[in-house]
Structures are given as structure tokens and as C-alpha cells.
Amino acid sequence: MSYLVLARKWRPKTFADTVGQDHVLTALVNALESGRLHHAYLFSGTRGVGKTTIARILAKALNCETGVTSEPCGVCSACREIDEGRFVDLIEVDAASKTKVDDTRELLDNVQYAPSRGRYKVYLIDEVHMLSRSSFNALLKTLEEPPPHVKFLLATTDPQKLPVTVLSRCLQFNLKRMTPKLIADRLSYICGEEGVEASPEALMMLARAADGSMRDSLSLLDQAIAYCGGALSEEPLARMLGTIDRNYVERLALALADQDAEAVLATVADIDEQFPDYGRLLDDMAALLTRVAILQVVGGDGADAIDGVPEPRELAERLQPADVQLYYQIAITGRRDLHLAPDPRSGVEMTLLRMLAFRPAGNDTAAPAVAPAAGRKAAPRAAASASAGAKQTASAPATAKAPAAAPRSKAEAGWRDPDWTALLPALSLGGAVRLLAGNCAYLKREGDTLRFSLDGKFEAMLTGPRKEALAEALSKYYGEPLKVAIEVSSEGPETPHQAESRLADESLEAARQTLENDPNVKTLKSLFGAELKPESIEVVSRQRQE
């Protein structure tokens, strides 16, 4: 006797056997028991979550010889024939292979005839979104007012592609992705019935690899049984799935917390010996950082109860919250761009080194709680701060006759005067406050006060609330309480808006000169008496062209 794959053998035969879609099953059971049956149902959801299975069970419930029921008997000829796929009044159509309007018209020609064997003639159209527009138009009238003996069951993975005229004629049920725990529990039950030994960790690995699809998990279980020789354990499954041992991912995260580039690269070299899926490595890193962030914010994410993985408390204590957010963003961006790298390993290495090279703006004081281990070279970190590269203010040498200078605070002693034009975008100001700051020029710092010069043309914009909003933004950026003093001056230093206007004028003049000297323009002038209108010249930046 031929072997029946697990995905077909363990396909649910009744609503009671179906797991993970209680919101859909409750509605269908209540409708069957009350007799309030719609003529068209639409089941949508990702692959392998039970769309076609629930539709077939519904067809059995409608045609069971014991009567319309929410619990089909499963032993009558109608139930057995539907399970075996040979019930004459269940017409299953694969819309992906029958997209033409002629196929739909041929299908609907028999709608008017009464069912041959069953109580209802059921049309099950899978991947209905693949039908052509003409096919949908041909289906619309019948779908809206079918004969009383006809039921339409539609299934799709992409309901957005269905016309709204079709959606409005159906009862819509959106099937959810299965959770890893739900899939693992189902796999555990099936392994017990099949006499297959499997550790909970191995089943959880299969559940996570299935990505929410019960059918995919059963296919993976079939493959795992063949690969492992009948007994499922974590190590051979990791090789089969190309997954990375959690210990390696945690080693990478701890090396990042220590700012230890050598340890990061050494760990990647160890991982490379296992022929890993590097895209999955970055996915695992992003998942671990998510758990760390949740643990830092709420103190626990209940992960132990979900997948048996211990909470990463050590990482939550050693990594700064801002660094966790930055590492996560770099990980998912690196995952997205991994196919652009020369090879997957180098792409992952560059992603991890990028985590070491940058840190959030204004987070200079947020150093890791654990210093780099002795003898290791800590990776340099380039502060992504708009104030980087600014010249430090020179202090005049003290003379013997000069009064003793007031002691400077620790923050002021290490202060670097910012490049105000470059710093302004990093403050995330908006509206009138942004306009006020753009027309100010930075002068100097005195104690906890930053002094600015305001262009006299914009004196009307200087109000108390706006000055306070600017001081608050600067305090948040530098991580210390700061005040702002603004003096109005018509001859102060150049403001960011003045610099922007000057650069625009210079670019326009350079563009005019380029056109004036262009040989083609000179030829047009000499042959046709053409004139170059300065007001028609527009400077187009490279960024704008892209």
C-alpha cells in the first residue's frame, strides 16, 4: 500500500478536528445549527491555514445524509465521497488554471440543474483571485442570485485582488496564521499517534520554520522523520533546516554588547562551518533583539510560556535600549539587502560591523554596562551626531593679573561647539520653532545657557514658548538641562537659512555661467539670435533627479 503523506493523512475531517481558526468555526457551526446559511462564502488567508479544508468540511455538513448538521457523520456515502474527492455535486475548480471567461461560462451552464446525489451543489473555487476580469463579470449575476440548491465556497490567498462587487456578495472569513505553540502542540499529538519520538525543542524548531502554516509544518515533519531516521532531535533538525544554534546568536549579541569586533568575526567564522542560512541568522538576531527590547520596557514578554526559550535577561542588562533599537533596524535592513552583497557571509559581517560602527545621536553617555574584555580591541564607534567634527572652543590662557575663572561643569568642560547648520535637522523641530531656529546663528555656551543671534528680519517670531521648545529639544539631544538666550542682531553671523539662500544663489549663478559657455548655446545665439532667459534657469540636484 502506498504511503500517504502526513499533510493528507491528518487533514481534519470535522470542525472539531480543526485547530487555530475558532473565530471562523464558531460562525459556521452557529449558521449550520440555526439554518441561516449564506449562498457564498469567501475564505482568505496565507497558505496552509485551512481554507480548502474548512470549505470541504462545510460541503460535508451541507450534504451529509443525516441532514444539514455541524457534525457530519463521516461514514455515509456523501461524507466518504467528499473525503475521497469524488463526490459528483462538489465541483472543485482551480482558478489558477481556468482563468478564461469561457471556462467560467462553461462552469455556470450547469448551475441551473439540480444536484445529482446531494442536497446542495457546491462550487469550491480555489485561488479565486486568479480569475480574469471577464470571468468575474460572468460570475457576478449567478453569485448574487444563485438557485436555492447552489452554494459557492471561494478560497484565496490574496483577497485584495478580488473586485469589490464580488466581495460584497460573499460572507468573508479571514483565517489567521497559526502560532508556533499551536503548531508544536499539533505536531506533538501527531508524533504520538504515529509512534515517532520527538523532543519538544525539535518540534518547536519545526513550528517556527513553518511560518504560521500547518500544512508546511506537516510537510517539514515528513522530511524530518526521513532525515532523522524516525527520532527527532534538535541538532540534526538544525542542519536540515539551516537554522543557527541559539547559543551562536546570543554569542554575537554579547560580543556586540562588549563592542568586541574580533569576537563578532570569530563567531561568524564558527557559524560558517555549519553551512548556515545567513538570512535566517539575521532574522534570528532581529527576533532576539525584539525580545530584549520588550524585556527592557515591560520587564518580561512571557517567552518561556510560548516557545520554551529563556528570556535574554543578561543582554537586557548589558545593552542600552537605544542601541537595541539601532541594532534591530540595522539587522532588518541588512536582511533586506543581503542579496546585494558579494556573498551572504560578507553581507552578514558588514551588517554586524555596521552595528559596531554607529550609535544613536546624542547617546555618547549611554556606554555599555560591561566594558570590553581585557586584551581585546574594542571596535571604534562613529557617533552619528550632527555635532561631530565641530571645532572645540579655544580658551584664552589665564594671566597672573586676571581673576580666577569660575570652575566649569563636567559637561561644559567637554563641550564642543556644534555646527548649527548640520545640527538643526537632528533636533526634529517643526513649524514655527524650526523656522525660528533656522534664522538663528549659534554664538557660544555660557554655563548651561546656549547663546544665539537672531536675524533682525525675523524678530517677530521670537516668543517665549518657541524659545522654550528650542531649549527643550537641545536638552533632549544633549542629555542635559540647557537654556537658550537669543539676541536680535542685523549683523550677526550667517544663519542656516541665509547659508541656504546663499548656496542656492551661487548654484544658480554657476548654472547660468555653464549655460552661457556651452558651445551649443553659443551656436544658437550666433545663428538664430537666441537669448538665454535667466529667470528660466532651474538648478536640478542629483538627489532630485533620482
Owner of C-alpha cell 525660528: 436
Domain boundary among 359, 385, 406: 359
- Residue 485: other Cβ atoms inside 10 A: 12
127/65 same-domain check: yes
Residue 385 lies in a domain: no
Residue 279 lies in a domain: yes
Percent of the chain whose pLDDT exceeds 70: 85
442/505 same-domain check: no
Closest alpha carbon to 23 in 177, 181, 174, 211: 174
| 294 pLDDT above the threshold of 50 | yes
- What's the pLDDT score for residue 461? 83
* Dist CA 455 CA 463 (whole Å): 14
Grid cell, residue 109, equals 451552464
Residue 273 lies in a domain: yes
Residue 388 lies in a domain: no
110/253 same-domain check: no
* Dist CA 180 CA 217 (whole Å): 10
Encode pLDDT of 64-95 as tens digits: 999 899 999 889 999 999 988 889 999 988 88
Could you tell me which residue, 437 or 537, shows the higher pLDDT? 437
Mean predicted confidence (pLDDT) in 445-468 = 88
Residue 65 and residue 59 in contact, taking contact as beta carbons nearer than 8 Å? no
Report the domain count for the chain.
Answer: 5
- Residue 97: other Cβ atoms inside 10 A: 11
Most distant CA pair in the chain, distance: 115
> Which band of pLDDT confidence, cut at 50, 70 and 90, is reported for residue 171?
very high
Q: What is the CATH number of the domain that holds 463?
A: 3.30.300.150
Residue 344 lies in a domain: yes
Could you tell me which residue, 352 or 432, shows the higher pLDDT? 352
3-state secondary structure 356-376: HHEECCCCCCCCCCCCCCCCC
Mean predicted confidence (pLDDT) in 447-465 = 87
199/316 same-domain check: no
Residue 325 lies in a domain: yes
130/184 same-domain check: no
350/455 same-domain check: no
Residue 379 lies in a domain: no
159/196 same-domain check: no
Q: What is the CATH number of the domain that holds 327?
A: 1.20.272.10
Q: Which amino acid is at 538?
A: E
How many Å separate Cα 147 from the centre of its chain?
45
> Helix, strand or coil for residue 227?
helix
- Residue 136: other Cβ atoms inside 10 A: 18
Decide: residue 262, CB within 10 A, 0-12 exposed, 13-18 middle, 19+ buried.
Answer: middle
Domain boundary among 241, 266, 291: 241
130/220 same-domain check: no
159/231 same-domain check: no
- Residue 130: other Cβ atoms inside 10 A: 18
3-state secondary structure 5-25: CHHHHCCCCCHHHCCCCHHHH
Give the domain range for residue 153: 6-174
Domain boundary among 174, 200, 217: 174
* Dist CA 90 CA 122 (whole Å): 5
235/310 same-domain check: no
126/256 same-domain check: no
**Strands in 293-370 per DSSP E:** 358-359
Encode pLDDT of 320-340 as tens digits: 888 899 999 999 999 999 999
Q: Which amino acid is at 261?
A: A
Encode pLDDT of 355-384 as tens digits: 998 877 655 444 343 333 333 444 444 433
22/154 same-domain check: yes
Residue 386 lies in a domain: no
* Dist CA 65 CA 68 (whole Å): 8
